[in-house]
Structure 1
Amino acid sequence: MTFFKNTYWIKRIAIIISLLIVSFILWNTYIFFQKFKQEERGKIEIFAAAFKELASNSDLNENTNLINKVYQTIEDTPTILVNKNGTIDLHRNIDSLKATNPKYLQEQLNIMKAQNEPIEIEYFGVTQYLYYRNSDLLYKLKYYPLALLLILALFLTIAYMMYKSSKVAEQNKLWTGMAKETAHQIGTPLSSLLGWIAILRSENVNEEYIVEIEKDVDRLSTIANRFSKIGSVPKLEQQNIVDITKSAFNYLQSRSSKRVTFSFTTSKSELNSNINTELYGWVIENLVKNAIDAMQGKGSISLQIQETPKHIKINVSDTGKGIAKSQFKQIFTPGFTTKKRGWGLGLSLSKRIIEDYHKGKIFVKKSELGKGTTFEIQLEKV
């Protein structure tokens, strides 16, 4: 118990430290961004002062080296000089081809107005306003925190997926162990039952009773074999789908309420596919049992087998309460159930048997609340 408590707190401390580190990086990035922005404005103000000095001093008109040197410090920063009337007098560091379009220049000016306050330049009664846009480096620095957050989100997503995957693997391992242990435990009384059947025969007990007991013993043996195959790759053999399906269907029909009507139809008497007989029969039984439960023991169940050039389709339909469309995929999730009593494993096991072991498909073909549901299984035809 102490170990789990320590692990609990270690995880939370690690999360808190990670959040503090990320917050520290984001805060420092913000401080650096603001400082760099101030430095950039300082350069623009120096450029504006040099421009004013050049415009107001006639001695400097013959030598523009000063303003050129100052200009080199902002050569990555787009600028637009606007007069008092709002007309653009000069622009720098803007695409020369696009700048021929007055509309483009106006768009750039609007961007600059939104980003930074203009710098006023006055000389000889002339008033101009110097607008500037953030440099490319400042743009990159602005979106750096967003990139950092995206990387962090990606990292957390991967960590969560790995954690979830490990939990699912752990749960699957647990279910597999329980299934195999169940199969092992069933094996012991089965051996005893076979011995008792032999004794009953030697005592000249009515053969009809013994035959029925043998059927139940065979059924228990089948269940034990099914559980023993969970977690291991089953052996697939070419079998007649029609016979295997009909056998599982008839077994439940003989043990169900007379108020349930059963209907079995097939396009051919022989349709072959590579399957594991016990596991496939388990899927059919799960679907039929769910159908009986959905009808609350009264209604009709129909099973149809059809073929396409490449596949065999098995449709199991009922006249039960139906399934909401939003739950078509959710019902195959382990643990999900709409019953008051149930573990929610039947359909998830069926999906694993059909899709993982037999490389087929199983899904809700159609369903309508209050009218019934149709499940479809697709298997490759051989």
Structure 2
Amino acid sequence: MDFNPKKKTSNFLLLIASFAIVSLILWNTNSFFKKFKEEERHKMEIWATAQSEFLSLPVDADPGNLHIKIFQNNTSTPMILVNKDSTIKVNNMPGIQNIDTAFLQGKIKKFKEENKPISIEYKGEKLATLYYGNSEVLNKLKYYPIALLLIIFLFGAVIYFLFKTNKTAEQNKLWAGMAKETAHQIGTPLSSLLGWNQLLKTEDINPEITMEIEKDISRLETITERFSKIGSLPILKEYDIVEETKNAFDYLKLRSSKLIHFSFDSKAERLPVLLNKALYNWTIENLVKNGIDAMRGKGSISIEIIPSGNTVRILISDTGTGIPKKNFQSIFNPGVTTKKRGWGLGLSLVKRIVEEYHKGKIKVLSSTKEGTIMQITFKVNN
């Protein structure tokens, strides 16, 4: 459902532009890494050339300031120089002793993997082999692309979350608007029904008929009130949750199939809870109707109210086909339904009414092939 095509397009273009910028930074970083590695290679080749000339000098000859300066300036790149007589010299590797041959051989192997060794020759004669590793700066730079990839991932996750939240907010506004419009549309025929019922009372008919019509009109008024409250913060008042639960339960009991067995049990006579009466009754009716649907019109529905310290638990049980454990959380998401018909909004609204409006908790307490138990928890208003 596309609520705002222009906004959606602009958000998509923003996302593409952001990824393009991050990808460009990643590409530049990779290019810089390669260039830095090439420059380090060039520096090591200069050092190897100086070393070649130094090794070719007579023992008592002056090496010259240039050679010394080249050797002194290279303080960051770890090196292992293996002379033709197999003697080993280590540079820029503090704490490493030349006598630790096994460790040095391991380092030589690692350096060969990082960089191609440089053969030091003079007039065709091989004097030594230089093995060198990446400098500390290069090693840190090597992990920078990984850090950027993580940033891209986190950035994408944040964008996705923002888009999803924005879409959900737009959907909520749409559903709230539809609900309020439905309540408004029901109001006109409902007023007419009230008038017709008053007219029927003046006729010589069975009073029980008009009494039942009044109950259904009252029911329509309750439904209208419920829809009108969607999207706005409901007012909570103190009600006896035992009485309100039983009233909603009994209403459905009278209008359900005789093949369904209803049972109600409360471990307390009265429990005051801050409720919005219309929305709470809607919650109970939704859960009971879901149970009836799960039983395909035949089975047992029960409600048990259990006080527990400063809270009260309402257990709604049915003998339906059950819910797979993997779906215990997802069934409360909008659009999720196990029915062939329906939009999957019932349990989503129930969760919102219980947790957002009443600060309670709702969950699937247990579910097997023999039935399901839903649990609502509220704080008792002491």
Q: What TM-score does the superposition give when structure 1 sets the normalisation length?
A: 0.90
Letter in 2 for 1:350: V
Cα 1:108–1:267 shift into 2, 3 Å: farther
How far is 1:225 from its partner? Answer: 0.7
Percent of counterpart pairs with the same letter?
A: 52
Moved more, 212-221 or 301-310: 301-310
1:144 partnered with 2:144: yes
How far is 1:299 from its partner? Answer: 1.0
Letter in 2 for 1:355: E
Cα 1:50–1:173 shift into 2, 3 Å: same
Report 1:88-237 matches (<5 A). 89-96=88-95, 105-122=104-121, 127-237=127-237
Counterpart-to-counterpart distance in 2, 1:314 and 1:94: 70
Kept in 2, the 8 Å contact 1:54–1:64? The answer is: no
Cα 1:15–1:287 shift into 2, 3 Å: closer
1:302 partnered with 2:302: yes
* RMSD of aligned Cα (Å): 2.7
Counterpart-to-counterpart distance in 2, 1:308 and 1:281: 22
Cα 1:150–1:294 shift into 2, 3 Å: same
CA-to-aligned-CA distance 1:50-75 (integer Å, 9 cap, x gap): 22322221267655744442134431
Counterpart-to-counterpart distance in 2, 1:154 and 1:225: 43
CA-to-aligned-CA distance 1:298-342 (integer Å, 9 cap, x gap): 111121111211211111111111111111111101111110111
How far is 1:217 from its partner? Answer: 0.4
Counterpart-to-counterpart distance in 1, 2:80 and 2:209: 103
Moved more, 297-306 or 74-83: 74-83
- Tell me which residue corresponds to 2:30: 30
Counterpart-to-counterpart distance in 1, 2:109 and 2:377: 61
Counterpart-to-counterpart distance in 2, 1:345 and 1:115: 59
Counterpart-to-counterpart distance in 2, 1:100 and 1:268: 84
- Tell me which residue corresponds to 1:312: 312
Cα 1:64–1:378 shift into 2, 3 Å: farther
How far is 1:268 from its partner? Answer: 0.9
How far is 1:22 from its partner? Answer: 4.7
> Please, which runs of 5 or more residues in structure 1 have no aligned partner?
none
- Tell me which residue corresponds to 2:267: 267
Cα 1:166–1:252 shift into 2, 3 Å: same
- Tell me which residue corresponds to 1:378: 377
Letter in 2 for 1:225: E
Counterpart-to-counterpart distance in 1, 2:5 and 2:88: 71
CA-to-aligned-CA distance 1:225-259 (integer Å, 9 cap, x gap): 11111111111112111111111111111111111
- Tell me which residue corresponds to 2:333: 333
Counterpart-to-counterpart distance in 2, 1:90 and 1:193: 103
Counterpart-to-counterpart distance in 2, 1:280 and 1:177: 21
Letter in 2 for 1:142: K
Counterpart-to-counterpart distance in 2, 1:8 and 1:245: 44
Letter in 2 for 1:135: S
Kept in 2, the 8 Å contact 1:54–1:61? The answer is: no
How far is 1:156 from its partner? Answer: 2.6
Moved more, 69-78 or 26-35: 26-35
How far is 1:150 from its partner? Answer: 2.6
Counterpart-to-counterpart distance in 1, 2:5 and 2:284: 45
Kept in 1, the 8 Å contact 2:286–2:346? The answer is: yes
Cα 1:75–1:183 shift into 2, 3 Å: same
Cα 1:119–1:239 shift into 2, 3 Å: same
CA-to-aligned-CA distance 1:108-144 (integer Å, 9 cap, x gap): 3333122111112357977532211111222233233
SS at match of 2:88: strand
Kept in 2, the 8 Å contact 1:98–1:104? The answer is: no
Counterpart-to-counterpart distance in 2, 1:103 and 1:360: 66
Counterpart-to-counterpart distance in 2, 1:237 and 1:103: 80
SS at match of 1:288: helix
Kept in 2, the 8 Å contact 1:78–1:92? The answer is: yes
CA-to-aligned-CA distance 1:151-202 (integer Å, 9 cap, x gap): 2333332222222211111110011111111111111112111111211112
Counterpart-to-counterpart distance in 2, 1:6 and 1:183: 31
Moved more, 48-57 or 60-69: 60-69
- Tell me which residue corresponds to 1:82: 82
> Please, which runs of 5 or more residues in structure 2 have no aligned partner?
none
Cα 1:60–1:255 shift into 2, 3 Å: farther
